[in-house]
Structure formats: structure tokens, C-alpha cells
Chains A and B, each alone.
Chain A
Amino acid sequence: MSIRRRAIDLVPLGLLVVLSVVGASTAVEPAGRLAPARAWCSPSAARLLGCGEAGVDLTALVSVAELRALALAAAVALTGFAVGTPLGAAAALARGRVERAVARACDLVQAFPTFILALAVLSAVRSPSRLHIGVVFALTAWAPFARLALAQTRVLRGAAFVEAAVALGRARSGILARHIVPNLLGVVAVQLGSTAAAIVVSEAALGFVGLGPRDGVSLGGVLDQGVVGMLRAPHVLLVGATAVFAASAAMLVAGRAAR
């Protein structure tokens, strides 16, 4: 695929980041400041997205929450990529029982109720921070990468250049690092976008059910406010839902650039 096409795939994500940075830096007050007098106020020229519960300025809140959600998703997806790719490739090179065990583990982890796992693990901390949330997501984020790397390595391990490396006496770790993994990166990187999108949504869901960061600056927190004020101020709900949609769609489209 041409460079130009790839650049186009990155446009929505870039646009979203720029918009959020502009929104966060032009905000008249810090995200999350309460001003009960103007609670649930409608969008106006001064406050483009209006206010939410207890009068928080939605422009500032959503911009900062969006940036943090995108950063968290990117960090977790990259961690899963960095852990899962070598794991899957090593398992496929080892063949036999190890290969089967890793493949089955990937299946189970991918189908498992990870959201409930996250709830359970987060209950061990007083109030979850973004780091905690990221670590919990990373517990399962490696699986799709490992599965893809495993499948791709099954094809590669029979290739002539791998056989040549074996014949030349290279150690298995050397073959993995020098010959297999570099050939996988393109295929496995495609998964980055959908994993990042899933993390954006999961983080919003955690915030929605009340397990977001304590300062309340999260997309899920905005959605929660929106449901509370559904009858009085539907704009809060629409703003929150649009922000989650935009973040997840931008990540999905950006993932196509890796193809």
C-alpha cells in the first residue's frame, strides 16, 4: 500500500489529537473544576460543549479525558505488542506441547470476561489510578498479538532462510530475534489498532460503572454524567458517546496504516 494511503489512515487520529490539545489548552479553567451555579448548562459560545453535572466545563473535561484515553490505549497496545509477538513466535519455534499450550492460552484469554477480571483486580487498590488500569488491561492485551505471531511463525519456520540459519548453527534465540520477529512485525502490527480501540472502550466502560480514576477525568465519567442527566441535559450524553466513538474509530482506522 502506498505511503499516501497510509498517511490518510492516520488523519482521523491526528485530527482528534489536535482537536483535543486545542480544547485542553484553550479551556478557561482546569478540567473537572466544579461550579454548581451553572450545572447542566447548554452549549454556548463561551462553553462550546456546555456543562455537565455540578457545572464542569465539558470542553476541558472531554479534551483532557480524550487525550488520556488515547495515550493509555496506545501504551497498553504497544506493551501487548512487545510482549505477545516474541512469545507467540518462540512458542511456534518450540513446536509440540509448548506451541499447543500457548495457542490454547491465547484462545482462553481472548474469550475470557476480561472486564470482570479488571473489576476484580482493581478492587485490591483503594482508588484505581491510570497506571493500575493500564496494568490490568496489559494482563490480557498480549493474547491477540501472540496468536497472530504464532500463526505467522508456523508459516515462516519452514522458509528457506530459516533453514539456512539453522544449518549455519545459529541458536534458536538468535533465529527468533534476527530472522523471525523482523518478518512478523508488519502482520502483527495490524492488530495494534483494534487492540487500542478495545482499550479505549474498556476504559470508558470501567469509568462508566464507577471504577475510573478518582479525579473523574475519563470518558466513562462523562457518559455516566450523561445517563444521570439524560432527561435534563441530553447534550452531555451525546458529547460523551461521540468522544468514545471518535476515539475508538480513530484507533481502528489508524491501525490500517500498519498494513
Chain B
Amino acid sequence: MRRAGASVVRGAGLALGRALESLAVVVALASLVFFALRLLPGDPARLILGDEASEGDLARVRRALHLDEPLLVQYARFLRGLGSADLGDSFRRPGTRAMARVGEALVPTAQLAAVAVVLGAATGLVVAVIATGPWLSTRGRRWIDCLLVGVAAAPLVAFAPVVTWALAARARIVPLPGDPDAGLAGLLFAGALLAVPLGAHVGRIGRQALTEVAEAPFLRVAVAKGAGPARVWWLHALPAVAGPVVTVVAAQLGALLGGAVVVERMFERRGLGTLILEAYASRDLPVLEGAVVAAGMLFVVAQALGTAVEVTLDPRTRAGSP
């Protein structure tokens, strides 16, 4: 009992250490954005107002964004703002907190990402189990392997619009981009597009891991006890490959967030991606900084969750195991 308790503590410690490291990266990223906006040639106030702005207006904008203070004072204010999750008012919508707009946008993006992760992981695992189990011929397996490699390498930005055109404009079985009444069907379709590359990656890694597990003694024991192939593969083999699958999902999260920006833009969905693009176009610096930090935090939380899940599922990553 005591050992199990210690291993849980150690797993939590590992996850916490990873989370702290990732947090440091988010602060570094936020700082990079902060300094890039202020140190690169070009006056941020002029970027916001354009070339025609009068000196008085420029001075007003500088004051509002604290751009007239010394850089280190600005940076200290920025770090304090990060710590208290308050980066000031949205510049384009005075009276609205930048972080409030970011929080609003975070929900649909998190939904989209969650749908994509669930669909991608489920499809990838089903394909991996079917391709590794005793159901297919060698030729069929080779076909599936080729398909997985090809799909994993296919660029989302190129195939997502084509698939949308084929299914929405030609076959008319899914809602068109920008359809305000798309609702759940729109979310599922957008999530499914995002899930395609993820599913292929999960399928490839799952297939490798399952092939290794196939030789393991515990599967032979299960077979010897009279379990059918379905029971052996779905109940005994699948949980053993959870670790690598969680790792690959965590590693793909960055790409998933980038893909979410593309998909949101294509379907004109509200979300973190469209907010970043909107803040970029209108140079709403507080919102832009907040949105980038929020994307980073989403990433950190998901990574820490991934580590925690892996430690919980796979006894080999716990302390005290040989």
C-alpha cells in the first residue's frame, strides 16, 4: 500500500516538474512576444493608428498602452499582469478586459480540440488494433501502414478545404463554411478534419507499440486461458499501449492548436484562432498577448495532463519499478 502511495506522489511530482518547465516556456514565449512588439523597428502606436495619425493621438495611444514608460517598468507590469491574468483592457473595445475576450474565445477552441483529440485517438487506436490483430492478411496490413504514413504526411491546410468542398459544396452532407446554423454538425465536421492527421499519428505509433506487445507473455497467457481474439486485443493489449499513445497525442498538441487556427478561419468559427487573427489585424496588443499566453497555457495544461495519465496508466514509469 505504502509503495503505491509513494508512486502516486512521485507521479504527481513528475507531472508538476514538467508543468513548471512548460510554464517557464510560456513565460519565455510571452516575453518574446512582448519584446518583439516593442524592440523591433517600427513604433507600435503607429502600427495601431496607421501613418496618418497625429502626434497627439499617437501620444494618447502610447499613454494608454504604457508605451511611454521605460522598457523594464513595462516588462514588470506585463509580468505582474501575467501572474494575475489581467493584461489590461482590450484596446479596440474599451471597457472589456483583454483576458475576458480571451476566456470567451478559449471555450469553442477547447471544444474543437477536445472533439479532435477524442475522434483522432479513437480512430487511430481502432485502426491500429484492426491492423495488428489476426483479422487481416499481410497485404491488408501493409496497405493500412502505407495509408497511415501518407495521411500523417498530408498537410491539413491543403486537404481540409478540398474535403470541405467535396462534402459540403458537392455532396451537401455537411454544412458549408461560415454557415451560422452549423451548430453541432459543424463542430463535429471541423473536429473530424482536425482529427485526421492526429488519428494517423496515433495509428502509426499504436501499430508499432501493439506489434511489440504482441510478443509479450501476458498476451500468450490470455490466449492460453481461452480468450478470443477480440478479448485478447481490445481488453488485454490495448491498455498496454496507452503510454506511447498519450505521448504522441501530447506531442501533436502544438500542431493541433495551429491546425485549429486554420480550421476556425476556414469555417469562420469563433475561437482562439479567429481572436488572434482579429487582434493581429487590428493590432489589439493586450488581446494578442493574452491570446498567445492562453494558447500556451492550454498547451501546458494538456502536456501535464498527458504526463499524469501516462504515469497513472503505465506502471513502468512509476518509482520503485526496475
- List chain A positions with a Cβ less than 8 A from chain B: 104, 108, 110-117, 119-126, 197, 200-202, 204-205, 208-211, 220, 223, 226-227, 230-231, 234, 237-238, 240-242, 244-245, 248-249, 252
- Kindly provide the distance from the CB of B265 to the nearest chain A CB, expressed in whole angstroms: 5
- Select which of A112, A120, A220 is within 8 A of B33 by beta carbon: A120
- List chain B positions with a Cβ less than 8 A from chain A: 21-22, 25, 29, 32-33, 36-37, 40, 42, 44, 47, 153-159, 161-162, 164-165, 169, 177, 250-255, 257-258, 261-262, 265-266, 273, 276-277, 279-281, 283, 288-289, 292, 295-296, 299, 303
Secondary structure dominating the interface of B: helix
- Select which of B154, B292, B296, B299 is within 8 A of A245 by beta carbon: B154
Is the Cβ of B257 less than 8 Å from the Cβ of A115? yes
Is the Cβ of A124 less than 8 Å from the Cβ of B292? no
Is the Cβ of A209 less than 8 Å from the Cβ of B292? no
Question: B164 — which chain A residues lie within 8 A by C-beta?
Answer: 227, 230
- Select which of B157, B265, B283, B303 is within 8 A of A123 by beta carbon: B283
List of 6 A-B pairs having minimum Cβ-Cβ separation, nearest first: A115-B258, A244-B158, A201-B155, A113-B257, A113-B254, A124-B36
Is the Cβ of B265 less than 8 Å from the Cβ of A244? no
Is the Cβ of A220 less than 8 Å from the Cβ of B299? no
CB within 8 Å for A210 and B42 given contacts A116-B258, A237-B161, A245-B154: no
- Kindly provide the distance from the CB of B164 to the nearest chain A CB, expressed in whole angstroms: 8
Distance, CA A112 to CA B252, complexed state (A): 9
Is the Cβ of A120 less than 8 Å from the Cβ of B254? no
Could you write out 24 A-B pairs with CB less than 8 Å apart?
A108-B25, A110-B251, A111-B254, A112-B299, A113-B253, A113-B258, A113-B295, A116-B261, A122-B280, A124-B36, A197-B153, A201-B158, A204-B155, A204-B157, A208-B266, A209-B262, A223-B157, A227-B161, A227-B177, A234-B169, A244-B157, A244-B158, A245-B158, A248-B155
Is the Cβ of B303 less than 8 Å from the Cβ of A111? yes
- Kindly provide the distance from the CB of B148 to the nearest chain A CB, expressed in whole angstroms: 15
Question: B288 — which chain A residues lie within 8 A by C-beta?
Answer: 120, 123
- Kindly provide the distance from the CB of B218 to the nearest chain A CB, expressed in whole angstroms: 30
Question: A249 — which chain B residues lie within 8 A by C-beta?
Answer: 153
Number of A-B contacts (CB under 8 A): 144
Question: A108 — which chain B residues lie within 8 A by C-beta?
Answer: 21-22, 25
Question: B162 — which chain A residues lie within 8 A by C-beta?
Answer: 237-238, 241
Question: A242 — which chain B residues lie within 8 A by C-beta?
Answer: 158
Question: A121 — which chain B residues lie within 8 A by C-beta?
Answer: 32-33, 36
Is the Cβ of A123 less than 8 Å from the Cβ of B280? yes
- Select which of B25, B37, B42, B159 is within 8 A of A112 by beta carbon: B25
Distance, CA A227 to CA B161, complexed state (A): 7
Question: A123 — which chain B residues lie within 8 A by C-beta?
Answer: 33, 37, 279-280, 283, 288
Question: B299 — which chain A residues lie within 8 A by C-beta?
Answer: 111-113
- Kindly provide the distance from the CB of B117 to the nearest chain A CB, expressed in whole angstroms: 14
Closest residue of chain A to B264, judged by CB? A209
Question: B255 — which chain A residues lie within 8 A by C-beta?
Answer: 113, 115
Closest residue of chain A to B253, judged by CB? A111
Closest residue of chain A to B295, judged by CB? A116
- Kindly provide the distance from the CB of A182 to the nearest chain B CB, expressed in whole angstroms: 30
Distance, CA A205 to CA B255, complexed state (A): 12
- Select which of A117, A200, A223, A245 is within 8 A of B29 by beta carbon: A117
